[in-house]
Amino acid sequence: MEDYLNQHGYISGHYPQSIDLAQIGGLVATRSSGQFSTKYGNIENLVVGFEAVMPSGDIIRIKNVPRRSAGPDLRQLLIGSEGTMGIITEITIKIFPKPADRWMCAYGIKNMREGLHIIQTFMREGWNPAVVRLHDRLEAAKSYSKFLNEGESILLILSEGPKMYAQAEGKALDKIIRDGRGRSLGPEPVESWLEHRNNTDELHEFTNQGIIVDTIEIAANWSDIGTIYEQVTERLKKEVPELLLVTGHSSHSYPQGTNLYFILGAHPPQDPEGVERVYQSIWKKVMEITLENNGTICHHHGIGKLRAPWIPQELGSSYTMLKKLKRSMDPQGIMNIGTLLPVNEGEEKDAQSIYSCY
Query: What pLDDT, in 10s, does the model give residues 60-102?
Result: 999 999 999 999 999 999 999 999 999 999 999 999 999 999 9
pLDDT tens sequence across 117-126:
999 999 999 9
Domains of the chain: 2-97 (3.30.465.10), 101-196 (3.30.70.3450), 215-292 (3.30.300.330), 316-357 (no CATH)
Round to whole Å and give the CA distance between 148 and 111.
Answer: 12
pLDDT, average across residues 197-218: 89
Average pLDDT score, the chain: 94
Q: What is the pLDDT of residues 145-171, one digit of tens each?
A: 999 999 999 999 999 999 999 999 999
pLDDT score of 290 more than 70 = yes
Rounded CA separation 94/12 (Å): 7
pLDDT at 205: 85
3-state secondary structure of 172: helix
Residue 203 — very low, low, confident or very high, per pLDDT cuts 50/70/90? confident
Output the pTM of the full model.
Answer: 0.94
Tens-place pLDDT, residues 18-69? 988 999 999 999 999 999 999 999 999 999 999 999 999 999 999 999 999 9
Q: What is the pLDDT of residue 349?
A: 46
pLDDT at 252 over 60: yes
Average pLDDT over residues 238-258: 97
